[in-house]
Structure 1
Amino acid sequence: MRYNRLVQLFLVLFILLSEIAYSQTLKNTAPEEAGLSSQRLARLENAMSDWVKNNWINGALVLIARNGKIAFHKAEGYNDLETKAPLDKNGIFRIASQTKAITTVAAMMLWEEGKFSLEDSVAKFIPTFSNQKVIATYNPADTSYTTVPAKRPITIRDLLTHTSGLGYAGIGTPMENAIYAKNWISGGLGVNNQKIGEVMSNLGKLPLFFQPGEKWKYSLGTDVLGYLIEIWSGMTLEEFFNKRIFEPLGMKDTYFNIPPDKASRLVNFFQADQKGVIKKQAKTFGGTLDMNYPLNKTTYFSGGGGLSSTIYDYAIFLQMLLNNGQYNGVRLLARNTVRMMTMNQIGDLFIDSATRPENKFGFGFSLITESGSRLAPNQAGTYSWGGAFSTTYWVDPKENMVVILYRQIWSPGVAEVDKVFKTLVYQAIND
């Protein structure tokens, strides 16, 4: 009897401690309190300064949270190279494809409410996705093509795993870019004269680039998912994110439309010219994308890339996932839903047509496998992604760690930074 009572008391204590842990917000702490070495983190801070001195990048912002505490949150470099205005760690960054993880969470919240099945066809909710065709031959001279019938419909699971057969406008293959441009399908950023429902419906009429489920290919599938969230919830994607995710979690600086009183916090975008000189850019993608797009009011909410956010806000979101779906006493997802999202969902398929055979993909995240963990210090089970403007993140459950690196630049120096960043983070672990 005494043994059973002790076991019961232990279980109650464990549950109480767990609830207390999950009710805490991310706050700064001494690195040693999070199992990191201050001395070794100085290597990272010095390296960040060197990246700027070497003209690899204009600046960088890093946040490392471990065991639910922020052990490192520092910015180096400049938001304006001419005036030497420093990069602010509270700046708002265009996070582009980091939006996809938030869209995935939103979809899985509605899945938990029974709004759809993962095996439902997209055509069940967007009729134009019925009776789809797959490209068989393509003539780049006039963008004409022949097709064969799709072997099966696209499912919601296909959208979540990028195995649908859809392509990506603007950043896909020349064939994808040409066909989508001809039919006014965009990557979703800076769109002000189209409606998401009309564009996604038009997308359903166009051919797929491979048979559903037979390949992994980064795609507009998450934009389709964002529109489906509007259908399932009866809210715009902006409203759903705000009411169901951002407000409950306390994410106060994440937006499709940055409000005017926070416009000055939008971080500048830089690009290296042919001589490697880094310059602030008002436009990119050949001048087609105004980089002030987060300030230009839009009602086109791209689930694949439309958000801007601070590094702290995104750390809250990732900590929620690391906490198995809850943060500060708020539960968005059940732990088994998070488990599904962060495990291999593509079987033997390769990411990027076998260019990264060690990685796999879950729902919204790439995954480090046991064999893949030999290539970098990330533990097996680490899940990650990033954004087109050089933001990146990962969550390492075995190390109980969230790591985020924010930049707003395109330059060869970004690759140089990426070669050393993970090493500098992991070498600081000291427990």
Structure 2
Amino acid sequence: MNRYRIVLLSLFSSVMLSGAARAQAKILTEAAPEAGGFSASRLARLDSGMHRWVQQKWVNGSVVLIARHGKIVFYKAHGYNDPATKTPLSKSGIFRVASQTKALTTVAAMMLWEEGKFSLEDPVSRFIPSFANQKVLATFNQKDTTYTTVPAKRPVTIRDLLTHTSGLGYPAIGSPAENAIYAKGNLTGGVGVKDQTLSDAMTRLGSQPLFFQPGEQWKYGLSTDVLGYLVEKWSGLTLEDYFLKRICQPLGMKDTYFNVPPEKATRLVNFFLGDSTGRIQKQSAVFGGALNMNYPIQKHDYFSGGGGLSTTIYDYAVFLQMLLNGGEYNGVRLLSRNTVRLMTMNQIGDLNPNVGEHARDNKFGFGFLVISEKGSPFTPSQVGTYSWGGVFSTSYWVDPKEDMLVLIYRQMWGPYVTNTDKAFKPLVYQAIND
């Protein structure tokens, strides 16, 4: 009997030690490629590729971080923060990540959902009265921007916001109808906004027509900005303070901001435009001068849950590792693993996202594009991989079956930036060696 107890205790101890080792592995640590199941010689192909992209003038520079089994196997920068002066791009630079903000806003909302602040099926009008009795666009006259509407068949719900099935559009980057109607309503994409408040803007948005019946289509739009405002209402904190106190500080994300502090302003990465001749020029403003690219270091209090953050690639990797861990990082749990499961599975049924290559073949969860069985033949990423990116050429994906997260950051627009995207993913997956 004693021997039986000793065997049981031995097995129990082994399981506990194994579990502790696995938990420790989920805290990001830099390690040799082999520790994460990568080939060092094959990863060298990625190193060479990043160098070659700069030489070919596809980009001014890029930063890449790859982690598998909690081991950072690749974390490098190539190229220049200023090609004219040959100032190198730093891997600890602070990047404008635009729509990568949406994932933090989604996590914030789901944390409050776990606290019982709302139901996924609650109408938005319960919290923002202007969303009651909404209308849906029926016809639009592009010549004079007049339009007609029909009543919405049902209210917009929180679930609709999380899945981009709300009927809301995007100002400036949407259809002619979206651009014209939102311009009349003084509604913006949310980045670099001055002289208006988030509460006023989201209240005005509720009185604007929807662009389709709620739940009947998928359309990328201001849904997550509305969600960010709801986080403020549910929590009693500004979105900036909620991110800081409930997400960034607990996870040890020390370089993630709506307002980059003055002492870190020099770390804000420059933004560039490239052309077909290979000329790459630093830009102080984009969208015809409408957006000053120094907006992260210009103090503001309009916090766009859809696009306002700036961060480092390492900070965002910590955030993604938390999700990959099932909602926990370094002893801090933000979400339950089943909430993460909800966020990263198909939540739109037979609908299809209408953004990105092969988007029609994939699905959308809460805040993430999700690789489906139908979409998997077009990518080396496994089914269930979830991802998103930002308009200023940052992107990421998390492949749970490979226990891997991957990020590539650039700050540039140009005709050849997408060449780096096409080359990048195969270079990552070909280096896995276990």
Q: What range describes the TM-score normalised by the shorter chain of this pair?
A: over 0.9
Residue 14 of structure 1: how far off its partner (Å): 3.6
Secondary structure of 1:226's aligned partner: helix
Residue 261 of structure 1: how far off its partner (Å): 0.3
- 1:372 maps onto 2:375 in alignment: yes
Aligned to 1:350: 352
C-alpha RMSD over aligned residues: 1.7
Residue 5 of structure 1: how far off its partner (Å): 8.5
- 1:73 maps onto 2:81 in alignment: no
Q: Which amino acid aligns with 1:26?
A: L
Q: What does the per-residue CA deviation read over 1:192-228, in whole Å, with 9 as the maximum and x for residues that have no partner?
A: 2110000000000000000000000101000000000
What is the TM-score when the length of structure 1 is the normalising length?
Answer: 0.97
Secondary structure of 2:29's aligned partner: coil
Match of residue 422, structure 1, among 421, 425, 428: 425
Aligned to 1:184: 186
Contact map agreement 2:113 2:119 (CA 8 A) in 1? yes
Q: Which amino acid aligns with 2:266?
A: S
Residue 98 of structure 1: how far off its partner (Å): 0.3
Contact map agreement 2:276 2:415 (CA 8 A) in 1? no
Structure 2 unaligned runs (5+)?
A: none
Measured in 2, the distance between the counterparts of 1:294 and 1:21 equals 38
Q: What does the per-residue CA deviation read over 1:62-105, in whole Å, with 9 as the maximum and x for residues that have no partner?
A: 00000001000000000001100000000000000000000000
Counting only pairs closer than 5 Å after superposition, residues 376-415 of structure 1 correspond to structure 2 as 376-415=379-418
Measured in 2, the distance between the counterparts of 1:230 and 1:428 equals 43
Measured in 2, the distance between the counterparts of 1:97 and 1:254 equals 14
Contact map agreement 1:22 1:326 (CA 8 A) in 2? no
Contact map agreement 2:160 2:215 (CA 8 A) in 1? yes
Q: Which amino acid aligns with 1:36?
A: F
Measured in 2, the distance between the counterparts of 1:10 and 1:223 equals 51
How many percent identity over aligned positions?
65
Counting only pairs closer than 5 Å after superposition, residues 272-311 of structure 1 correspond to structure 2 as 272-273=274-275, 275-311=277-313
Measured in 2, the distance between the counterparts of 1:291 and 1:430 equals 41
Contact map agreement 2:165 2:219 (CA 8 A) in 1? yes
Q: What does the per-residue CA deviation read over 1:168-202, in whole Å, with 9 as the maximum and x for residues that have no partner?
A: 11211121111111111000010121100000000
Aligned to 2:164: 162
Q: Which amino acid aligns with 2:19?
A: S
Counting only pairs closer than 5 Å after superposition, residues 124-203 of structure 1 correspond to structure 2 as 124-203=126-205
Residue 25 of structure 1: how far off its partner (Å): 3.0
Measured in 2, the distance between the counterparts of 1:8 and 1:205 equals 65
Quick one: structure 1 residues 268 and 9, their matched pair in 2 at CA, closer, same or farther if it must change by over 3 Å?
same
Quick one: structure 1 residues 426 and 152, their matched pair in 2 at CA, closer, same or farther if it must change by over 3 Å?
same
Aligned length in residues = 431
Measured in 2, the distance between the counterparts of 1:272 and 1:99 equals 25
Contact map agreement 1:216 1:353 (CA 8 A) in 2? no
Moved more, 12-21 or 110-119: 12-21
Residue 13 of structure 1: how far off its partner (Å): 4.7
Structure 1 unaligned runs (5+)?
A: none
Quick one: structure 1 residues 47 and 345, their matched pair in 2 at CA, closer, same or farther if it must change by over 3 Å?
same
Q: Which amino acid aligns with 2:383?
A: A
Counting only pairs closer than 5 Å after superposition, residues 304-343 of structure 1 correspond to structure 2 as 304-343=306-345
Q: What does the per-residue CA deviation read over 1:292-347, in whole Å, with 9 as the maximum and x for residues that have no partner?
A: 00000010000000000000000000000000000001000000000000000000
Secondary structure of 2:428's aligned partner: helix
Measured in 2, the distance between the counterparts of 1:304 and 1:67 equals 30
Quick one: structure 1 residues 5 and 87, their matched pair in 2 at CA, closer, same or farther if it must change by over 3 Å?
same
Secondary structure of 1:412's aligned partner: coil
Q: Which amino acid aligns with 1:100?
A: K
Moved more, 366-375 or 331-340: 366-375
Q: What does the per-residue CA deviation read over 1:353-403, in whole Å, with 9 as the maximum and x for residues that have no partner?
A: 896221100000000112211111100110000000000000000100000
Quick one: structure 1 residues 120 and 3, their matched pair in 2 at CA, closer, same or farther if it must change by over 3 Å?
farther
Moved more, 412-421 or 316-325: 412-421
Secondary structure of 1:317's aligned partner: helix
Aligned to 2:272: 270
- 1:102 maps onto 2:104 in alignment: yes
Residue 274 of structure 1: how far off its partner (Å): 6.1
Secondary structure of 2:359's aligned partner: coil
